[in-house]
Structure 1
C-alpha cells in the first residue's frame, strides 16, 4: 500500500473528524456502522481512479482524428484560473448528466444504490462508490477535459478541488456558507440528495456547481432545514465484498423474475 494514500487518509481524518465533532449536524459516532467498509473503499478507490485515467488516455489515443489542435492550443494558453473555472463547469455538467443516468436507468441504479445505502453521513461516506460507477463517472467527467486540451497544471488543481468538495459535501457538519452555497456544493445542498425521502431522490445531481440543478429544475435546498434520515429502501449488504457483487446479483434476480413472468 502506498504511503501517500495512508498519509492522505490520516490528513483527511485529522481535518474532518474534529470538524464533525465541533460542528456536528447529527450526533453520531466517529466509527459509525459501515466505517470499515468505507475505509476499504478509500484505499481501493485510489487504484481504480488510476485505472480510470489510463482508460481515458488509451481511449483518446484512439480518437486523435476528433481532436482540434487549434482549440486545444487556445484553451491551454489561457490563465490557469480561467481554465480551472471552465473545467468546473464542463466537468460538472458531464457529471450531472451521468448522475441522472445513474438514477434513471434501472441497471445503472443498481451500482449507484451502493452509494445511496449510506445511513450515516460523514466525510468518509464520499468514497462508498462501486468501482463500476467510479469508472463510469470518472470517464464522463475527465474525457471532455482531456479532449479540450486543458493543461496538466489545471488538471492537478482541479483534481485537488474535486476531491476536497467530495469529502466536504458528505461531511456531518452544520456550517453554513451563505450565498456561496449557490456556487459551491456544500453539505446543505448534497445531504438532501441522500435523504431517505423518495420524493427527493432525484434532486441535487451536481456535485460542484449547484447552479446546474437550479438551471435544470432539480434543485432542492430548503432554508433552515436538513434531512434527519438517509439511505434507501433497497437492502444492500453491509460489507465491501457483498456491495461489490450486489449490483450483479440484483440484475440476475431481475432477469430471472422477468423470465419467469414471461414463461
Structure 2
C-alpha cells in the first residue's frame, strides 16, 4: 500500500525537525505544545489548498494566453541556476509587498493575525495560515513567474526551496548563521517578525532574502538580543474552524488584535 504524499510530507518534517529542535532548542517547550492539533489541521488543509491553488493558477495563466512571448523566450535561454536565482528574487519581492499589505491594511490583517497567533514558534507553526492568505500570497508569488516563462524545472526547484525555507525559518533552533543570515532568511531573522512586542510596526517581512527588508527599511536584527514572547491577543488555542471564520467576524476591527 503506497503512502499518500501528504503523509510522507509530515513524516519527513517530523523526522527532520523534531530531533533538531530537541537537540538545539532556542526556547524549551513541549513537543505537543499549545495549539499543535490546530496546526496539524492547517498542515493537511494547507497541503490540498496549495496543490489546488497551483493548478488553478496554471489554468488562469493558460486562459490569459500564457507567458509573455518576448520575456519568456529571453528567460528560457538562461541557465537553470540563473533562472532559479532570479525566480527566488522575484518571488520573494512579490511576497514582500503582499506581506506588507497583510500587516498594514486592517481587513487583511484580520486574516494574517492568525499566523501570528501562535505563542510558540517552531517548524509546525509555519503552516498556521488562513486559506485566504495562502491563496493570496501564492498567487502573488507564482503568477509573475508563470507569466515570465520560467522553465518547469526552475519553478519546481523554486517551489521546493520556498517550502523548505518556510519551515527552516520557523524552526525553534538556537544556531546562529553570522554571514548567511544577511543573505538568506534564518530563524534568527524571522523570530523578530513574530515578536509580540515589535520595535517596528512591521519588520523582517521577507521570507527568503533579508536584503529586501534592508532596501525597504523594515530590517530589524539587533546584536546579542532575541525576542522572548510571541503571539497576539487572538487565543492561540482557538480551534481550526474558529480561525477560519475569525476574519469575517471582525471586519470592523482595526488592529486591536496586535
Listed one character per residue, the Cα deviations across residues 125-145 of structure 1 (whole Å, up to 9, x for unaligned) are 000000000000000000110
Q: Give 1:53 shift.
A: 1.1
- Which has the larger displacement, 47-56 or 1-10? 1-10
Q: Give 1:76 shift.
A: 1.4
Residue in 1 aligned with 2:77?
77
Using structure 1 for the length normalisation, give the TM-score.
Answer: 0.92
Residue in 2 aligned with 1:210?
210
Distance in 1 of aligned mates of 2:248 and 2:197? 26
- Does the 8 Å contact 1:48/1:131 carry over to 2? yes
Residue in 2 aligned with 1:87?
87
Structure number having the greater helix percentage: 1
1:40 aligned onto 2:25: no
RMSD: 1.7
- Does the 8 Å contact 1:237/1:243 carry over to 2? no
Q: Give 1:158 shift.
A: 0.8
Listed one character per residue, the Cα deviations across residues 124-167 of structure 1 (whole Å, up to 9, x for unaligned) are 00000000000000000001100000011111111111011000
Aligned residues: 253
1:153 aligned onto 2:153: yes
Using structure 2 for the length normalisation, give the TM-score.
Answer: 0.94
Residue in 2 aligned with 1:167?
167
Distance in 1 of aligned mates of 2:192 and 2:51? 30
- Does the 8 Å contact 1:123/1:172 carry over to 2? yes
Segments of 5+ residues of structure 2 without an aligned counterpart are none
- Does the 8 Å contact 1:236/1:246 carry over to 2? no
Residue in 2 aligned with 1:13?
14
Segments of 5+ residues of structure 1 without an aligned counterpart are 256-263
- Which has the larger displacement, 219-228 or 204-213? 219-228
